[in-house]
A and B are shown apart, each in its own frame.
Chain A
Amino acid sequence: AAGVIQSPRHLIKEKRETATLKCYPIPRHDTVYWYQQGPGQDPQFLISFYEKMQSDKGSIPDRFSAQQFSDYHSELNMSSLELGDSALYFCASSLQGEGKNIQYFGAGTRLSVL
């Protein structure tokens, strides 16, 4: 079965650079969630989209922005990168109304900021 696809799997950037992370949800899923997991930490919710509209927002820095496109894939844009942005970024997708919207996670993008 198709899963959530995230690209790239690994990304290395310098401070103050920009990064774009992509997420392709499971086919038919209409909701996408982004989480950030720092080293040794639990995942923290960043932002979510339902039917291409932002549905909820967590502790996402103003330097970060995200959107969901017409094909339901989502991109997380991160500007003015800081060392503290180094983390594993997960995307998850769900289908609204299906089993309390179980979220299926991608393999994550590991971002390293040098």
Chain B
Amino acid sequence: AQTVTQSQPEMSVQEAETVTLSCTYDTSESDYYLFWYKQPPSRQMILVIRQEAYKQQNATENRFSVNFQKAAKSFSLKISDSQLGDAAMYFCAYPNRDDKIIFGKGTRLHILP
């Protein structure tokens, strides 16, 4: 069965510092995508970044980047220069071949001023 695991229920980071959120997953597929979604207090689900499994290059979106280790089935999210607006719940997500998204349990990120 496909699973997504986020082992850090909560994390805190000082404003302007860098933080890394961990995610591991399990799948038998070889070609797939992985996503990180952000859910701020408004509860809106916002796509932060996506990675294509066949691409070796790690995806980057402004201050957000991933460390994708396909063999280890690891997909961590790095947030640089953390800002107060980054405070949210972050979900690692895997869309299976039927496009049903399987979410991790989430990591709540606190930004300390």
Residues of A within 8 A of B (CB): 31, 33, 35, 37, 41-45, 48, 55-56, 58, 88, 90, 92, 94, 99-105, 107-108, 110
Contacts and interface: CB of A to CB of B under 8 A. Distances in A.
B95 A104 contact: no
B106 A45 contact: no
Contacts, number: 61
A35 B104 CA distance: 14
A55 to B, nearest CB: 7
A33 B99 contact: yes
A105 B44 contact: yes
Contact of A56 (B35, B99, B103, B105): B99
A42 B43 contact: no
Contact of B43 (A41, A92, A103, A107): A107
A99 B49 CA distance: 12
Interface residues of B, number: 23
Nearest to B35: A102
Nearest to A31: B99
B84 interface: no
Given A42-B103, A56-B98, A108 B47 contact: no
B43 A108 contact: yes
Given A48-B100, A100-B52, A101-B99, A42 B106 contact: yes
Contact of A100 (B44, B95, B102, B106): B95
A45 B91 CA distance: 14
A55 B105 contact: no
A31 B33 CA distance: 18
A103 B101 CA distance: 9
